Amino acid sequence: MIVRSYWALKDLRTTAEVPTGAVYGLAQSVLKLVRHYKPHHMVAVLEGEDSHRERKEIYPDYKKDRDAQPEDLTVQFPLALKLLDLAGIPTIGSDELIGVKYEGWEADDVIGTLTKKLLDQWDEQDLSSVISSILILSSDKDLWQVLVNDRVKCLLPHRPAGGRGWKAGGPYQYSMTRERLRRELGIEPHQVPDYLALVGDSVDSVEGVKGVGPKTAQKLLQQHGNLEGVLEHGRYDPHVSRKVRLELRTIRQDDARMAQCRRTLQTTTLNTSLPISSSLTDYLIRPPQAQELSQLLDELEMKGTKRQFVEVGMLPPTPRIGNAAPASADSSVAAPISMQTRGFASLSRQHPVVPPLTVPTDHVTHAPSVREAAPSLNGWPDAAANRQSAPEDVMEDTGEEGSSLSSLMRAVEESDPSAVSFSDDAAVLEDGMLSPVASILMSEALVGKPPSTRQRKSSKPAAAAPSLPLKYPPDVDRLHINISFPLPTPSGRICHVSLSPALLSSSGGPIASSLAAALSGPSTLWVSDDIKSVLHGLKAMGMPPLPADRCFDVSVAAWLLEPDLHRQPLAQLMATYLPDSPTTDAPDAPDPSTSLIPLWRALESRLRDAVLWSLWERLERPLIPVLAAMEQRGMPLNVTVLQRLEGRKEGGGEGGEGSAADVIEGELHELAGREFNPRSPAQVGQVLFDDFGMPSVRLKQANAPKTDKSTSVYALKELQKRLQEEVDARGKGEVRDTEAGEGVVKNKTDEEIHRAIRFIDLILDHRDISKQDSGFVVPLQRHVSNTTHRIHCSFLQTGTGTGRLACERPNLQQIPPNVRQAFSLTHDAGGNDSSSDPLVYVAVDYRQMEIDILARLSLDTSLLAAIQTGDVHRETASRLFGVPIDQVTPQQRDEAKKVTYGILYGQTADGLAQQAMMDRAAAKAHIERFFEAFPRVRQLFEFCKYQVRTEGCVSTIGGRKRFFPDMVSARGAKDGEKRKRVTNRPRVDRQASNMVIQGSAADVMKFATLRVADALREHPALDANLVLNLHDELLIEVRRSHIDMLRELISPLLTNAWDDMMAGMQLPLYPFHQHLAAYSPINNATPLPGKGKGRMVVVPVAPIEPAGTVLPAYLPPLRVKWAEGVDWGACDE
């Protein structure tokens, strides 16, 4: 470890040019072991000058490539020994420390001997009450041969070659154990010397067998056991290459090389029988020589290291000015059994066998908690500093809420006096209104780290907080509640109550009842970073929910301001909106929950400035408890049906035997004439292109693979399409023009072409089944709650940039139709199958919602008329293909549908051509004809481009905004500013148009969800519950006999949601509508600010129709489709 530290930090020196890198690395290694593993025994094993003597006699070239020891390293060995001595760590290799002398052998042999001796004593005397494990800190692979059982582990100071999966956690990210040795290298510990003799060890200049690497060595040892077996029988082994077999045959026939291999094995084998007579007590960590150790660290200018020695208890803290407090009850330090110049090893213990290290109390001051040490933040008081008794004049409260808060204060004070404090500073409350305010923090709030700088690019998505598995019912031991409220006294003092998880869970009675009353208070503002999770926690505690109109979720509010930054952790929000506050990992960082109040102030101000407060107050905030209720309700899952779907077993072969996947795989093997893996793209390509001789499809997409022999879905479908065209042409007797690569098809028989078409069909089906199993069937079974036997997913308000709801853990919005049948109410835990009036699902789906929204936003009279015909896709196809509507074929309608939705989602001609399997020229022509048929749609999209380039944002009908600040900066720069270039302006233009359509649909859907939830809550006799939101569909659970009443209740709410939202949210006229209303025939085009490459971009935003027909007088209601069934899948039929 000393040598490794030197090479890693060889430039580290004091101001007097004394090299200290090796000593610093050694000190950090000691601190890591003590801090994380808390061992009580530790020993450092050092090597002498003749430590390689025994092995050099066996293998003269041993470590011949080692360079001479640098002078800078040599001078640090005495300092390293002194550091270990002063820290109280025993050392082997120095007579004056322990007196154990060994000559000619390396530290690895000493560590092996100590480990073997200790394991023997463990078996004989049962040392379980003294030690729990042996930890060896070293990078030498030789030591892996001592991993004879689970009590021994090697900690690796760096990731070994090929060890990406060897993560261990703790301060050392990688480790090696017996089980990992078996799993990663496929060998046993006793085979490590044989393994090293085969592959060689470049670090020790040990040559292995030529051509044998780790994988080959693993195969040989698994087959033949050891080196002797490999040398004897490996030359006949069919599992290795011919080159290796020839090499082993050559060695076997050469006595000198056989002897060399055996000497190599002796070199790589540890000597675990050294005459070391010391006992376990010799390796107990001694009390450090504090004064001398502190002086040494000062001389080496290691102030940070010295502070860390204080933190682990190996040095007393620096005396403070003021009264001393008693030392902590647990100031002991534990320690590790073997350390060498390249590493440490330790013995972890379960119970101390020696008195803990103690520090004189006159040098120790009280270490405050985070809450106590934190300075006041925006008026939040220091609990320790303000710990006083309650004022006497608080006995008589006025008002129900004031009484409940005062009762809560007294109940908490009786249980934990330190949880209540008082101050005269009213700044913690809302300015000008002394109303109670509370912050609630979930313990996961701080996952993730804040950004490294205060400046963040708004266009760059931030790293989302790690997605934690949703447990239902949730744990209630993660809730932190802080409440501040004015006392009803003439002095106007402020009371602060802090409810920790321990206090909430351990104290019932008065605290619970007072908290329940306080939660129902009409004026307290409740601030949290995750209100929805808080509602789950309160429900699990039996508490009433928070009042929806008095909640503020800082995460949702921040997302409204920056919708492309999803699920920002609290630390990142603090760094962005409270730049002057300390970071959460700073020593002076305040209690995170105290940051929620100033965050609320900052975010509320910004929401009002951005004209987003109405969207938060009237749409997003009321939606939070609705989503929480949907998550709590959950959906029952019939695991039996789901397991039957795995591999589509219900579609098996004859007699019901085998799954559909097995049947398809068997037919594929029959078509190919041999077995292959249909999941392997390479093997599929070999069969299709090499065995069948089919032509490959050259992909023209920008992100297409470079190889011509692609087996992607698009490439296979394109090839299948060309093959089918050839078959059709032959049937009609036509001669087709041969494109590149199609000449090969001309030489194929009809049977060969049909075989290839069938082969592609089966491959695509097999991929669909595999995708369904791995993505849905298998994962869904892991999400069923053991308590409710339902799946409780998590809805994300902040999951998309357009405002649409997202879903995770699991994502029920992407469940395939055939998997939905497993979500059945017939086998619900409530005994629904035996009920005379069973629960059923009712699916309420907005028909072609995005098209309705597009028509309403563009006010295109042709599109509105097409919608009223009842089949907008047939009407569109008639216009695209120029045929009467009654002559439109199903294929033309399907193609028109793809064109319409492709334009809605901002697809280019290339994207539409790939999805619809058509030529790029045809896709481009379809897009142009669509805009000719519906001119105001083009005007709307051009207006979106104009708006994003002039204002840097676009807005939805509900006032939601998505910001593109780079587009504004691209228009030019002020004097002295650097012009910013937008590299993909067309992509931003498409995102802006898509945001307007999809975001407006999300606004309407959220508003409809709120209206339906309110109606169901106001009519409890319906016994109906919302369970799922699927973008443009609501899934409701209701009794079969109540379906008609449900339809009568919510139908007008859904069909009139657009108009009701405009009125209920008091929304202004949409900007594009304002432009149409103010239309003047003279101004028929508006130039776009800025120039392109030598040309002015002109955006036509004026309507084509006469001025008198600009705004339609009537907009048809939104269209809704109803379906019902005992399982979710039946609603799709």
pLDDT digits 0-9 by tens, 870-899: 889 999 999 889 899 989 999 999 999 999
pLDDT at residue 997 tops 50: yes
Q: At CA 531, angle to CA 530 and CA 532, rounded to 5?
A: 95
Question: What global pTM score does this model have?
Answer: 0.61
Please report whether residue 623 resides in a domain. no
286 and 386 assigned to the same domain? no
- Kindly give, in sequence order, each residue whose CB lies less than 8 Å from that of residue 527, ignoring residues fewer than 6 positions away: 437, 438, 439, 440, 551, 552, 554, 596, 597, 599, 600
Residue 66 has pLDDT above 80, yes or no: no
- Please report which confidence band the pLDDT of residue 398 belongs to, taking 50, 70 and 90 as the band edges: very low
Residues 287 and 410 grouped into a single domain? no
With a cut of 70, say whether residue 558 has pLDDT above it: yes
Residue 632: pLDDT above 60? Answer: yes
Please say if the pLDDT value at position 340 is more than 70.
no
pLDDT of 1114 reads 61
Rg (C-alpha) for the chain, rounded Å, is: 37
Same domain? For 7 and 133 the reply is yes
Which structure tokens are listed for 740? Answer: 């590149």
Six token digits for residue 300 = 């080496």
pLDDT at 547: 85
Structural domain count, the chain: 3
Choose the most confident range, by mean pLDDT, from 534-548, 598-612, 1081-1095: 598-612
Distances (CA, A) of 448 to 466, 478, 502, 871: 7, 17, 24, 49
300, pLDDT greater than 50: yes
Please give the residue that has the higher pLDDT: either 100 or 884.
Answer: 884
Rounded CA separation 532/469 (Å): 15
Residue with tokens 């090697």: 154
Same domain, 452 and 547: yes
pLDDT at residue 166 greater than cutoff 50: no
Query: Which of 557, 578, 601 finishes a domain?
Result: 557
Q: List pLDDT tens digits, range 774-787.
A: 888 888 988 888 88
Q: Are 604 and 761 in contact (CB under 8 A)?
A: no
Same domain, 13 and 85: yes
Question: Cα separation of 339 and 176, whole Å?
Answer: 17
Q: How many residues does the chain have?
A: 1133
- The lowest-confidence range among 183-187, 491-495, 670-674 is 491-495
Structure token digits, residue 1097: 């971009």
Task: Evaluate whether residue 98 is within a structural domain.
Answer: yes
Higher pLDDT, 682 or 653: 682
Q: What is the pLDDT of residue 765?
A: 92
- Predicted pLDDT of residue 1083: 37
Lowest average pLDDT, out of 420-434, 605-619, 746-760, 846-860, goes to: 420-434
**Average confidence (pLDDT) over 710-727:** 87
Pair of tokens at residue 1112: 């339609």
Contact 868, 1019 (CB under 8 A): no
Among the ranges 129-143, 331-345, 636-650, which has the highest mean pLDDT value? 129-143
pLDDT at 472: 58
Task: State yes or no: pLDDT of 449 exceeds 70.
Answer: no
Q: With CA atoms as reference, report the closest residue to 326 among 358, 356, 374.
A: 358
Does one domain contain both 771 and 654? Answer: yes
* Residue 204, φ and ψ in degrees, nearest 5: -100, 10
Give Cβ neighbours of residue 248 (< 8 Å, ≥ 6 apart).
Answer: 209, 230, 231, 234, 235
Q: Which of 510, 528, 557 lies at the terminal end of a domain, its last residue?
A: 557
Residue 339 belongs to a domain: no
User: Is 83 within the bounds of a domain?
Assistant: yes
Q: Is residue 680 part of a domain?
A: yes
Asked if the model's pLDDT at residue 154 lies above 70, the reply is yes
Q: Calculate mean pLDDT across residues 943-949.
A: 86
- Return d(Cα 259, Cα 769) in angstroms, integer: 57
Residue 110 sits at the vertex; the CA angle it makes with 348 and 208, to the nearest 5 degrees, is 110
Across residues 910-927, what is the average pLDDT? 83
Helix axes 750-772, 660-672, angle to 10 degrees: 150
Q: Are residues 79 and 157 in the same domain?
A: yes
Q: Which domain holds residue 679?
A: 642-783
Give the C-alpha separation, 117 to 110, whole Å. Answer: 10
pLDDT at 987: 82
Note whether 56 and 168 are same-domain residues.
yes
Is pLDDT of 403 > 70? Answer: no
Helix axes 935-951, 920-933, angle to 10 degrees: 100
Phi/psi region, residue 146 (left: phi>0; alpha: psi -120 to 50; beta: rest), is alpha
What mean pLDDT value characterizes the chain? 76
| Percentage of the residues of the chain whose pLDDT score is greater than 70 | 74
CATH assignment at residue 286: 3.40.50.1010
Same domain, 387 and 292: no
Q: Per the domain annotation, does 504 fall within a domain?
A: yes
User: Which of 761, 783, 805 is at the close of a domain?
Assistant: 783
State residue 355's pLDDT score: 30
For the ranges 244-258, 401-415, 522-536, 595-609, which has the lowest average pLDDT? 401-415
Give CA–CA dist 250/646, Å, rounded: 53
Most confident range, picked from 268-282, 680-694, 1089-1103: 680-694
Which residues does 1058 contact at the CB level (< 8 Å), separation at least 6? 856, 957, 1004, 1115, 1118
End-to-end CA distance of the chain: 68
In a domain, residue 424? The reply is yes
Judge whether 1076 and 1104 are in contact, CB under 8 Å.
Answer: no
* Residue 996, H or E segment: helix 985-1018
1037: left (phi > 0), else alpha (psi -120 to 50), else beta?
Answer: beta
Question: Which range among 164-173, 187-196, 1022-1031 shows the weakest confidence by mean pLDDT?
Answer: 164-173
Provide the pLDDT for residue 983.
Answer: 54
The answer on pLDDT for 352 being more than 90 is no
Rounded to an integer, what distance in angstroms lies between the CA atom of residue 123 and that of residue 128? 10
pLDDT at 59 over 60: yes
HSE-up of 257 (CA within 13 Å, CB side)? 14
3-class DSSP state of 37: helix
Position 1035 scores a pLDDT of 94
Residues facing 961 on adjacent strands: 955
Q: What integer is the mean pLDDT of 964-972?
A: 61
Confidence of residue 318 (pLDDT cuts 50, 70, 90): low
**Any idea what the Cα angle at residue 678 is, between residues 673 and 683, rounded to 5°?**
75
112 has a pLDDT exceeding 80: yes
Q: Is residue 348 part of a domain?
A: no
C-alpha to C-alpha distances, 322 to 319, 362, 363, 365, 387, nearest whole angstrom: 9, 11, 11, 9, 19
Locate the DSSP E strands across 785-893. 790-791, 794-796, 806-808, 839-846
pLDDT of residue 581: 66
Work out whether the CA dihedral 514, 520, 523, 528 comes out positive or negative: positive
User: In sequence order, which ranges of 98-159 are alpha helices (DSSP H)?
Assistant: 107-125
Quote the percentage of the chain above a pLDDT of 90: 21
Claim to verify: residue 161 and residue 297 sit in the same structural domain: yes
Question: For residue 242, what pLDDT is reported?
Answer: 86
Q: Is there a single domain that holds both residue 540 and residue 648?
A: no
Pair of tokens at residue 80: 């390293």
On whether both 377 and 306 belong to a single domain, the answer is no
8 Å CB contact between 972 and 1090: yes
Q: What angle do CA 32, 35, 36 make, to 5 degrees?
A: 80
Q: What is the domain-level CATH number for residue 772?
A: 1.20.1060.10
